[in-house]
Structure 1
Amino acid sequence: MPDGADPEDEPTGRKKLPLWVELPILLAVALVISFLVQSFVARVYVIPSESMEATLHGCPGCTGDRVVVDRVVYAFGDPEPGEVVVFARPATWNHSEHSADRSENTVVRWLQDVGSVFGLATSTEDDVVKRVVAVGGQTVRCCDGQNRVVVDDRPLDEPYLHWEGIPRQEEFPVVSVPQGMLFVMGDNRNNSGDSRTQGGGGANGLVPVDDVIGKARAVILPPSRWRGVGDHDPQALSAPAWQQGIPLGVGLAAAWPALWLGRRLREVVAR
């Protein structure tokens, strides 16, 4: 350092950007990262209807749930029975009653488009959320003597069902699900347009696996509804009580010989 030079006059590296320049840059980077994450990894969706009550809220007059949808999981496998999935409305399905929610104003529509990417507005795409009931190769019919949907001659176990009024679901014709297709239903069973009725039902009501966007993982808004979205497999019926007791009975039966053998070994060692 030259004699008489002030240390504070030495260069300290690149000049720091002013705050008014730095903040917009940080905001732009954050938005780009968020957009990439929502486009390829996970996305927030607004639930616009009550067809998935009470698993997902979307009832008229209430705050629709915001759910995180995993967009990666189905890159490694197909949807399974019981999973709640978001998918693009198939061409065979009826026109969405929520399309009228989109504004005619260009500026407002653009704001809605941006908001939908971050879960602040209803999705600009005509996307639907339902629960997978049957997959390719299975046959679905309704119903058995207890009014349960039957898949491959086995009644479903559906603890997530929500009833408005009489707790009895409407009959529908037998449907054979081809490979690469899904049979989906709403948890609000008597207030859901799904594979039973869309496009007249039958083959037109099925959903191509390729149209599935992702799997609903959790409700993140409103805070009072924070929770995971269950994917109870309705085709995995619980065993009868006497069968559930078999493992305990086997354990008890095996415990006595093991205890006796342990005592005999201790006696041998002691001698």
Structure 2
Amino acid sequence: MTDSDARPPERDRPARPVWVWRRWSRSVRLWVVVALSTVVLTVLTSSFVMQPFLIPSGSMEGTLQVGDRVMVNKLAYRFGGEVQRGDVIVFDGTGSFVAEESDPGLLGGLLRGAGAAIGLSRGSETDYVKRVIGIGGDRVRCCDSQGRIEVNGEPLNEPYLYPGDKPSHVRFDIQVPEGRLWVMGDHRSDSADSREYLGSPGGGTVPVDKVIGRVVLIGWPVDRWGWLRSDHG
């Protein structure tokens, strides 16, 4: 008896039906299309409509906390809407708060853009979030006899101020140029805002055309979810 006679005959492995492979292939293609469509839709929405923004510092406490993910309405001022006092905005500080943004490189730029699209990072190192205190033509000064900021001679009611903070430790008196904004953080003792750049070009004011959008919603963490209303008082 030979070895070949001793081994039991091997059974041929049954071939997988063609229809199974076709169905698997269609499923893979479908998931790829869904994934790509989701990415494209997210990027387009973030670029033109509603952008997530990660709060990087405590300058807006207690309205916004470090690590909050907020939604920024990028259409708020695109179709006739005007920036108003009390609005919480995200803006590009290039040319007003900073000279220019450092180059993150191709890979760094792609990673930052991807993170910003889903609210895991800031879109740019030059993006800031502050509250609008004065608009073009306003005279903003600090402070009156009771320590309140005045806008056009009227004391400003600021219920959003961080508990224990004064309206400002820095005295100023500025006429906001047309087309520009005077912005401040709600946590005045921990905010580098328009007061910090009084001696810079523009006197600390921000061009309206540098506004990215208005903060309308706190989306994360879940226990802080809610709409953010502007305070125009």
Q: In which range does the TM-score fall when normalised by the shorter chain?
A: 0.7 to 0.9
- Which of 47, 59, 64 matches 2:55? 47
The SS at the match of 1:35 is: helix
Indicate the residue corresponding to 1:154 in structure 2: 154
Q: Does 1:122 align with 2:125?
A: no
Contact 1:196 1:202 in 2 (8 A): no
Greater share of helix residues, 1 or 2? 1
- CA distance in structure 2 between the aligned counterparts of 1:108 and 1:91, rounded to whole angstroms: 22
- Which of 19, 26, 31 matches 2:39? 31
Deviation at 1:149, TM superposition (A): 0.4
Deviation at 1:137, TM superposition (A): 0.8
Q: Does 1:65 align with 2:78?
A: no
Post-superposition CA distance 1:189-243 (Å, at most 9, x none): 1111111112636833001000001000010011111011121113xxxxxxxxx
Indicate the residue corresponding to 2:19 in structure 1: none
Runs in 1 of length 4+ with deviation above 6 angstroms? none
The percentage of aligned residue pairs carrying the same residue is: 36
Cα-Cα RMSD: 2.4
1:238-253 alignment to 2 at 5 Å?
none
- CA distance in structure 2 between the aligned counterparts of 1:18 and 1:24, rounded to whole angstroms: 10
1:129-208 alignment to 2 at 5 Å?
129-163=129-163, 167=166, 169-198=168-197, 200=199, 203-208=202-207
Question: Aligned AA for 1:160?
Answer: Y
Contact 1:163 1:189 in 2 (8 A): no
TM-score (norm 1): 0.71
Contact 2:90 2:211 in 1 (8 A): yes
The SS at the match of 1:204 is: coil
Indicate the residue corresponding to 2:90 in structure 1: 86
The SS at the match of 1:203 is: coil
The SS at the match of 2:28 is: helix
- CA distance in structure 2 between the aligned counterparts of 1:221 and 1:229, rounded to whole angstroms: 13
Q: Which structure 1 residue ranges, 5 or more long, are not aligned? A: 1-14, 59-63, 235-271
Question: Aligned AA for 1:193?
Answer: A
Q: Does 1:224 align with 2:223?
A: yes
Q: Alpha carbons of 1:167 and 1:184: their partners in 2 closer, same or farther (altered >3 Å)?
A: closer
Q: Which structure 2 residue ranges, 5 or more long, are not aligned? A: 1-22
